[in-house]
Structure 1
Amino acid sequence: MLLCLWTGPKLGKLLAIFPVMYLSGGSCVLLIIRGAGTMELFFKMIFRGEATIEDNPLAGAGWVLGFTCMAIALAQRPNLNSIAGFSLIGALTAIAYCTLIWALPISKGRPSGVSYNSQKEESGMSEMFDVLNAIGMIVLAFRGHNLVLEIQGTLPSSSKCPSKKLMWRGVTLSYIIIAICLFPIAIAGFWTYGNKIPSNGGMLTAFMQLHGHDTSRFAKGLVYLLVVINCLSSFQIYAMPVFDNLEFRYTCMKNKRCSWWVRTGFRLFFGGLAFFIAVAFPFLPSLAALIGGIALPLTLAYPCFMWISIKKPHQKGHGVMWCLNLGLGCLGMVLSVLLVVAAVWNLATKGLHANFFHPE
């Protein structure tokens, strides 16, 4: 990797592996917070008859612990190949609940008083940072690039059918599905609710606040259940790079394969750490744009630099592809810095409800 050539093998390896582990761990914590909160709302509605987002926007520590235990109990498979079923379930539930979230509001119609104007006047600088902040959220929504090389390493490869072809098809299909799920939510959500969509909670929160009273318990319960199942399934996928890295370190140090109890211990350790972070920083979803901006080089910069390092086209002269990859890689790094600055700016100007160790 080009980072190793520039900074040395040790620092280059650290710069390469840190964002992968950071994005995997951060995604798992976000899934725990979201899944635990949704699970609490689901059970409240089942056993009490009704639940709204306002009752408890984030789960308490007990619900976080319960969801984490369920996720770790399911995370005992040894590798990515063995969790193909989880991936399929996660994809199907994501398509299902995303479709429900935008189809139900359209069927109910727009509530009264919906406006498409900004709720407050902002300067040109603030508007520009809001746009960059939104890009950071989109980047996080399309996360999964930290898993690409991990998944490609499990695919069969030959000279006639290299794994990169299968991986390219899989990446293309997965991002098409993500776009099909998310863009209708954005379009239908803005058309239905306009500026009534809350800054924290998004489309699901707006739907439960504005249309929850005239929606059947079955429909709301189905949405909640699909979200919980999706979070449990997605946790297995995003946690696997962390598990593999821990097992790889153990194998290198001990020069032997991981036994089942060591593998279980690693999963319990990661689950405990993720639980601690979810309880200590329950406001982490508010930092989605910042997380996405920091992880952006994995998508827009590192692949370009890796291509230059592997192909070494500069040995044959600086051609078009060398200039293109170098330009895109540098642009990705600059865009990442801008997104981080925009996220920090928004946090500084709009504030952050930092309820440390106090999940509501």
Structure 2
Amino acid sequence: MGTQGPATTDQNYNHATSEEQSAKQKAIDDWLPITSSRNAKWWYSAFHNVTAMVGAGVLSLPYAMAQLGWGPGVAILILSWIITLYTLWQMVEMHEMVPGKRFDRYHELGQHAFGEKLGLYIVVPQQLIVEVGVCIVYMVTGGKSLHKVHELLCKEPCKEIKLSYFIMIFASVHFVLSHLPNFNSIAGVSLAAAVMSLSYSTIAWSASVRKGVQPDVAYGYKAKTAAGTVFNFFSALGDVAFAYAGHNVVLEIQATIPSTPEKPSKGPMWRGVVVAYIVVALCYFPVALIGYWMFGNKVEDNILLSLEKPTWLIVMANFFVVVHVIGSYQIYAMPVFDMIETLLVKKLNFSPTRLLRFVVRNLYVASTMFIGITFPFFGGLLGFFGGFAFAPTTYFLPCIIWLAIYKPRKYSLSWCINWICIVLGLCLMILSPIGGLRQIILQAKDYKFYS
């Protein structure tokens, strides 16, 4: 009996320590952006996904069509819609594939498929490139849209203002909004952004119809050399990949939906995804096809830049773009905030305080603003980031994870579909950055900071 006292004391101590660690872990999870709130409704999934997908990319689709041509362009648009819907369904299904566990973050699913370390090495770099890249591109997009509004409203006596100043104005909003704690707290911003995306897409194609087919319209490839045509084709593939991306935040969005064994989160999440993809089709196909039909190969890399009249309508559309990319920036920034704050709090043992959040998020916004000012090459950025980063995480990484976890029978329907997506995605990842990099170089030569 005398030897049981110390053992019992040790057990009680270990139990108390374990409870303290669990309480500390719960406090951290309740503070982190992704896991702090799980009361979202299915319609949150709908407008979060619309906001994540229908962004700057839709405005570049007529330009992508001009580089692809009618046949390949229509085929690639439709095929991308089908493939990305399929891979998004896979991610929704895999969110709770292990009973009693939720893969709240993309890298957690990767770790389950490939192992703790390898999963991090595979997923995190790609996810960060996508999310940080989108935030940079949206800094440029927001600044360019504000610049366009200034040009349309302020004619002759007005002094020209550098694009860099408009990017700073756009960034100033995010120095405020970035301090909203989690996904559910930005639901209102995301809803407004989703409505704006449908609104400015409608304005883009309807204003194109009103302007009519241009007298000198031409549908042949604009490049005068075979090499130029091929490089432009590759860049356009990246534009399409950028437009259809949104998978990088899918698991994080689903993490905000409540789940029980009787009512798993995949039900309401999938309902929201279907609604979102219907909206995506209503935005993408009319803008891409009508924009190209009206302007041909002379269309700008942002369709709104090709439209000058009616002035009030184009001004409104550009304002809608600004509101939308404000919401999109927040959607893509939230997982980055979660990664940084998780690292600081769990690995480096910083206290989860408002001061820590204030410093981290302001530094992030300032960094993306600075890079956006330094490299404001909209068209080239879409092509480069679209292929290099979005293709893996959107087109084929979910398929690889699915094959690694479920191991479908060789040559079965599931096995064949996933391998087709992987091959197409790899081609997209390899080819489109080549064209995108060329676009960046060409635009950099012509760029002036007042343009």
Shorter chain as normaliser: what TM range?
A: 0.7 to 0.9
**Residues of 2 paired with 1:18 and 1:307: CA distance?**
20
What is the distance in 2 between the residues matched to 1:311 and 1:119? 46
- Which one of the candidate residues 67, 81, 84 is aligned to 2:187? 84
The C-alpha deviation readout for 1:96-134, integer Å capped at 9, x for no partner, is: 1111111012123233222223345443x6545543432
Q: What residue number does 1:302 align with?
A: 397
For 1:10 and 1:188, the matched residues in 2 are separated by: 47
Q: How many residues align?
A: 341
**For 1:137-171, what per-residue CA distance to the aligned partner results, in whole angstroms no more than 9, with x for missing partners?**
11101221111111112221222322223333323
Instruction: Supply the distance in 2 between the matched residues of 1:285 and 1:194 (Cα, whole angstroms).
Output: 17
1:339 to 400, 412, 432: 432
Q: In structure 1, which of residues 235, 239, 250 is the aligned counterpart of residue 344 of structure 2? A: 250
Relative to structure 1, the CA distance from residue 193 to residue 347 in structure 2 (aligned partners, 3 Å threshold; closer, same or farther) is closer
- Whether the aligned pair in 1 keeps the contact of 2:237 and 2:432 (CA below 8 Å) is yes
Is it true that 1:109 corresponds to 2:212 in the alignment? Answer: yes
269-278 or 325-334, which deviates more: 325-334
1:27 equivalenced with 2:118 (yes/no): no
2:442 to 351, 356, 360: 351
Mapping of 1:149-188 within 5 angstroms?
149-188=251-290
Match of 1:271 among 350, 365, 387: 365
Aligned equivalents of 1:98 and 1:145: distance in 2?
21
Q: 1:218 to 1:85 in 2, by over 3 A?
A: same
Indicate if the aligned counterparts of 1:114 and 1:194 stay in contact, CA closer than 8 A: yes
Q: Is the 8 A contact 2:400 2:418 kept in 1?
A: yes
TM-fit CA distance, 1:193: 1.3
**Which residue number corresponds to residue 231 of structure 1?**
325
Which range moved further: 21-30 or 220-229?
220-229
Gaps of 5+ in 2: 1-107
Give the aligned residue type for 2:335.
P
Give the fraction of aligned pairs with identical amino acids, expressed as a percent: 30
Could you tell me whether the CA contact under 8 Å between 1:33 and 1:64 is conserved in 2?
yes
What's 1:192 paired with?
A: 294
Q: Secondary structure at the match of 2:340?
A: helix
| Change in CA separation of 1:150 and 1:67 when aligned onto 2, cut-off 3 Å | same
Q: What SS does the aligned partner of 1:236 have?
A: helix
Q: How has the CA–CA distance of structure 1 residues 37 and 150 changed in structure 2, closer, same or farther, with 3 Å as cutoff? A: same
Match of 2:302 in 1: 202
Find the aligned partners of 1:325 and 1:105 in 2 and give their Cα distance: 38
Structure 2 CA distance, aligned partners of 1:15 and 1:318? 24
Residue 17 of structure 1: aligned partner = 124
Deviation at 1:284, TM superposition (A): 4.8
Deviation at 1:5, TM superposition (A): 8.9
TM-score if structure 2 supplies the norm length? 0.68
Give the CA RMSD over aligned residues: 3.0
Report the Cα offset of residue 65 of structure 1.
1.5
- Asked if 1:62 is matched to 2:165, the reply is yes
What amino acid is aligned across from residue 336 of structure 1 in structure 2? M
Report the AA paired with residue 167 of structure 1.
Answer: M
C-alpha separation in 1, matches of 2:338 and 2:450: 30
- Tell whether the 8 Å contact from 1:28 to 1:239 is kept in structure 2 after alignment: yes
Tell whether the 8 Å contact from 1:39 to 1:224 is kept in structure 2 after alignment.
Answer: yes
Structure 1 position 347, deviation (Å): 4.2
Give TM-score, length-normalised by structure 1: 0.83
CA displacement, residues 178-223 of structure 1 (integer Å, 9 cap, x when unaligned): 221121111111221112213xx33111112xxx3xx2x4223212
2: CA distance between counterparts of 1:184 and 1:29? 27
Q: Greater CA deviation, 11-20 or 259-268?
A: 11-20
Tell me, yes or no, if structure 1 residue 139 matches structure 2 residue 249: no
Structure 1 residues 210-254: Cα deviation after superposition (integer angstroms, max 9, x where no partner): xx3xx2x42232122111111212111111111111111122035
SS of match in other structure, 1:282: coil
Q: Distance in 2 between matches of 1:2 and 1:261?
A: 31
Conserved 8 A contact 1:197-1:206: yes
Larger CA deviation: 72-81 vs 257-266: 257-266
Match of 1:292 in 2: 386
| Residues 281, 355 of structure 1: 8 Å contact kept | no
* Structure 1 residues 2 and 39, CA gap change in structure 2 (3 angstroms): closer
Q: Answer yes or no: is the 8 Å Cα contact 1:2–1:308 preserved in 2.
A: no
